[in-house]
Amino acid sequence: MFKAGKNRDGYFTNDEILEQANQAMDILDKDYLDDTHVFFYDNAKTHTARRPDALSAKHMTVKPPKDAASNFLCSVKDSDGAMHKIPMQDGRFLDDTPQSLYFPIGHPQAGLFKGMRIIIQERIDHGSHLPDPTKLLAQCQKFKCAPGQTNCCCCRILFNEPDFVRQKSKLKELVESRGYRMIFYPKFHCEVSFIEQCWGFAKRVYREFPASSAEADLERNVILALNAVPLDSMRRYVTYLSAMTPSPFHAVSFRFSMRSLRFMDAYQRGLTGSQAAWASRKYRGHRTLPDTILAELDKADIV
């Protein structure tokens, strides 16, 4: 149980996500060695956080700094909360050889950031087809590049460079370092994710319990509600019975996978959230919606 709150367990951070992933992989290493495992995560910032020195064109200076005091570095927080600065990690040329973003030892400006123009010029010298950086601004006015532009300013060029695009999150680096695969879901409406429907199922069960303010009751009811979500409900129809025994609440058919497919189909057709929900209820036995759905929505006056 995780009790969120400033004066309780705090809030679920990337560190907790990494710890949870490690625990899951420990279980798989012990009991499921013969299977191939893929971890799926949504695009929450808690999941996609990168290392402090990860490649990023954000805040980069276009020219080398005048002195060490104004050097471009990455901020890192120690375990005791103290902050210190470290260099950004190396980039990669097209041939995958490393490119240091700082002047090397022996250079008059050793240790200083090269600046975006020099970094881009070095990439041109190594075979990249990029525009002359000396003729470009550091970033477009008001930090807004025109839609679809990839080489309008130095920042946008580096943002679209292969090594910057391939920069992995801490979570993905951890999972792959232990021999597992990981995929981030694209950003989407929550209805198309199985786990969101599991939460909805559990909340429905939870609301059946008598209201209480006792923490012991709340914790017990949460655990019972979560355990009430049948695994088979993700795969086929199941009959939902009330957690309030002995008499059943009422029977309802659930199939999370099919419901997700209906929502996907609805959004691909351009339906709004309320229209998708209406169509999903009306055609709960179908994976996709009929071609007449738009006409039916107009007839039912669903907006």
d(CA 28, CA 230): 22
Which stretches of the chain are DSSP H helices? 14-31, 45-48, 116-125, 154-159, 162-165, 170-177, 194-206, 215-227, 256-268, 273-282, 293-300
pLDDT band at 286 (very low <50, low <70, confident <90, very high): low
pLDDT band at 246 (very low <50, low <70, confident <90, very high): very low
Distance CA 134, CA 122 (A): 12
What is the Cα–Cα distance from 217 to 228, expressed in whole angstroms? 16
Least confident interval from 93-102, 210-219, 284-293: 284-293
Q: Which residue has the higher pLDDT, 277 or 50?
A: 50
- In which band, very low, low, confident or very high, does the pLDDT at 77 lie, cut at 50, 70 and 90? confident
Instruction: For helices 194-206 and 215-227, give the axis angle rounded to 10 degrees.
Output: 130
Q: Does the pLDDT of residue 11 top 80, yes or no?
A: yes
Least confident span in 12-21, 184-193, 250-259: 250-259
Rounded distance, CA 263 to CA 189, Å?
A: 9
Domain ranges of the chain: 14-49+169-184, 68-165, 188-303
**Token pair belonging to 71:** 């050097």
pLDDT bracket for residue 166 (50, 70, 90): very high
pLDDT of residue 247: 37
* Mean pLDDT value across the chain: 86
Placement of tokens 């580096």 in the chain: 158
Distance CA 136, CA 133 (A): 5
Once rounded to an integer, what is the mean pLDDT over residues 15-26?
A: 95
